[in-house]
Amino acid sequence: MNHQLKGALFVFAIGVFMAALDNGIITASLTTLIYAFDVSATWGSWTITLYTLGLAISVPIIGKLSDQFGRKRLFMIEVTLFGIGSLCVALSPTFPLFLASRFLQSLGGGGIFIIASSYVLNTFPQDKQGRALGLIGGMNGIAAILGPNLGALILQATGSWNWLFLINIPISILLLLFGGHFIKEEEQEPVNEKMDWAGILFLTTAVLSLMYSLTLLEGEALLTSLLKPTFFTIFLLSVVLFIALFQVEKRVGPGRDPILPLNLIKTPTFRWTLLLASFSGMILASVIFIPGYIEQYLNIPREQAGFWFTPLALASGVGAGGGGTLVDKKGPIYTLVTASLLSITGFLLFPLWVDTLWQMAIASSFVGAGFGMMLGAPINVLATENTSNQKGVALGTTSLFRQLGMTIAPTIYAGFLARSLTNVEEKVSNNLSEEAIPAQAVGGALSLPEGEDLDEKDFESIKSTFELIQDEKLRESMLSSLHQVVGSGYNGLFISSLIISAFALFGTLRLRKLRKN
C-alpha cells in the first residue's frame, strides 16, 4: 500500500470516527440539554432520534451520489456539512434550531462511512481491502461504544454541552486539509443520467416514517404499543410509501438512474446480505446496555463503569482488524461464521457464568470481537460483489438496513429491563416469605414509581429507597430481590442477542450455499 493510500485511509478512519461518535457522545449531556432548553424528556430524546433519522435517510442517497459524482468531492461536501451543522448546534439559541442543526449535522455525517468504504473497494488492491475495511468498521464500532464515556469526560472538563459539538470544528477543518491532499479523485465516467428526484422523495419519506414509527414503540408494553393508533398509522404510511417507491423505481425511464438498486435487491445473495447487515446492527445495539449491566447488576459506581467497558472497546478494535485480515486470507463467509460464533459465546457467558467484573470483561471481549468483525469488512465485501459501478449505492442500502436493526433492537432489549423491574414487588414478597420476615416490616418501601415505563432512573429510585431501610436483614433481602430481578432482565437481553447472533450464523451459512450455486 503506497503513501497516498495510507494517508487517505487515515483521513477516512478519523472522519468515520468523528461522525459515528456524535450520536453516542450526546447521551452524556442529554439531561443537561433538557434543563438548558427547558424541554421534556420526550422532546430531549429527539436530539438522538433526529440524528439517527438523518443518518438513515442520507446513507443510500450519498451512496448513489458518490457513484455518480466522485467520492472525494462527496467526502469534502459531507465533512463541510458536518462541520457547519456542528457549529450551528453549538450556537443554537432555541431548541427548534438545535434540532434543525442536528438534522443538518446528520446529513453530513451519514455518508462518510459509505464514501470511505466504497473508496477502499474502488481504489485499494484487492488483497488489502479487507484490512482497510476492517479499520474503518472498527472506528465506527469503537466510536459508538466510547461515545457516552467520552461525552461525560468532555462535559466534566468544560462544564458546557456546547463543547461536545465545537470540538468537531477543528477536526472537520483538518479533515478537509488532509483529505484534499491524500484523497485522489477517481476517474468517473461522464454522468448523463438525471437525478431520480421522485425516488429520493419517496425513499426519504418512507424511511422517515418507518424510523419515526419505531421510536414510538414501548419496550415494556411492546405488543400494546404495536396496536396503538399513532404507531399503526405511521407504520402503515411507511409501508404504503415503500410500495410506492418500488413502483416508481420500476418505471424509471431511460436517461435517469434509479436511487434504489432494484437489480441488486432481486439478487438472493444481496437480500441475505441486507439481512445480515440488520443483524449486525441489532448486535451492536445490545452493547449500549452493558454499562448499565456493570452499574446495576455488578454494583459498580457510574464513574467507574466506563473503565470496565474498555476490554469490550479494545476487543472490538482487535476484532475489526482481525476480521479484515481474515477476509483477505479466508474470505467474508469464513469471517462472518467466526464473528457469529464469538458473539454467541460471549452472550451465552453472560447469563450462565458472569458474576464478577473479570468474568464480565472476558464475556464482553468475546462480544466485542464478534461484532467488531461483522461491522467492517465481510458484510461490505459481500454487499459489493458483482456490483461493478454500483458499489456506493450497494453500501448505502446495506448501511440503511444496519441502521434499521440498530433502531429496532433497543426497544426489544429495553423491554426486558423494564418488565423485570415490574416484578420487584413479587420477588420481594417471595424472598421475605422464604426468609420468614413479616411482610408488614416493608412498610411503604416498596412503592414503585408511577407510570407505564420503568427505566434507569426508576431503578436508582428503588435502590435508594431500599438502602434507607434500617433493619439490616430486611435491607439485604430487598436489595437481593432487586439484584435478582435486574439480573433476569439483563439475562433476557443477552439471550435475545444470542438468538440474533445465531440467526446471523444461519444467514451466513445460507449465503455461502447461495454463492456456490
* pLDDT computed for residue 204 by the predictor: 82
Pairing relationship of beta strands 256-257 and 194-195 according to DSSP bridges:
parallel
Grid coordinates in use for 448?
A: 414503585
Identify the DSSP state of 94: S
For the entire predicted model, the pTM comes to 0.81
CA pair distance 362, 423, nearest whole angstrom: 30
- pLDDT tens, N- to C-terminus, the chain (517 residues): 678 888 888 999 899 888 888 777 776 677 678 788 888 766 776 787 778 777 777 877 887 777 777 788 889 999 999 999 999 999 999 999 998 999 899 888 878 888 888 888 888 888 888 888 888 877 876 776 677 777 777 877 888 888 889 989 999 999 999 988 888 876 655 455 566 778 888 888 888 888 778 777 766 666 777 778 888 899 899 999 989 988 888 777 655 667 777 778 888 999 999 999 999 989 988 887 887 888 888 888 766 766 787 788 888 888 888 888 898 889 999 999 999 999 999 999 999 999 999 999 999 999 999 988 887 689 988 988 877 667 777 887 888 888 888 878 887 887 887 777 777 777 777 776 776 666 555 555 555 544 444 455 567 677 777 777 777 777 787 888 888 888 888 999 999 999 999 999 999 999 999 988 7
Strand (E) positions, 399-494?
none
Grid coordinates in use for 415?
A: 423491554
Hey, is 414 helix, strand or coil?
helix
* pLDDT computed for residue 174 by the predictor: 93
Please give the distance of CA 253 from its chain centroid, rounded to a whole number. 36
Other C-beta atoms closer than 10 Å to the C-beta of 153 total 14
* pLDDT computed for residue 457 by the predictor: 53
Give phi and psi for 257, each to the nearest 5.
-95, 115
82 phi-psi bin (left φ>0, alpha ψ -120 to 50, beta other): alpha
Taking CB atoms within 8 Å and a gap of at least 24, the contacts of 260-266 are 260/60, 260/199, 260/203, 260/397, 261/387, 261/390, 261/393, 261/394, 261/397, 264/387, 264/390, 264/393, 264/394, 264/397, 265/397
> What residues contact 284, with CB distance under 8 A and at least 6 apart?
141, 144, 371, 375, 402, 405, 406
DSSP string, 473-509: HHHHHHHHHHHHHHHHHHHHHHHHHHHHHHHHHHHHH
The residue with cell 442536528 is 102
DSSP string, 249-282: HHT--TTEE-SS-HHHHTSHHHHHHHHHHHHHHH
* pLDDT computed for residue 314 by the predictor: 83
CA pair distance 85, 437, nearest whole angstrom: 59
What is the number of H-type helices and E-type strands within the chain?
A: 25, 2
What is the Cα Rg of the chain in Å?
A: 24
DSSP string, 287-320: HTTHHHHHHHTS---HHHHTGGGHHHHHHHHHHH
> What residues contact 182, with CB distance under 8 A and at least 6 apart?
4, 7, 8, 10, 11
The packing angle between helices 3-25 and 71-90, to 10°, is 30
* pLDDT computed for residue 276 by the predictor: 94
The residue with cell 470544528 is 169
Please give the distance of CA 274 from its chain centroid, rounded to a whole number. 16
| Residue 330 one-letter amino acid | K
Name the burial class of residue 480, with classes exposed (0-12), middle (13-18) and buried (19+) by CB atoms within 10 angstroms of its CB: middle
436 phi-psi bin (left φ>0, alpha ψ -120 to 50, beta other): left
- Contact yes or no for 148/292 (Cβ under 8 A): no
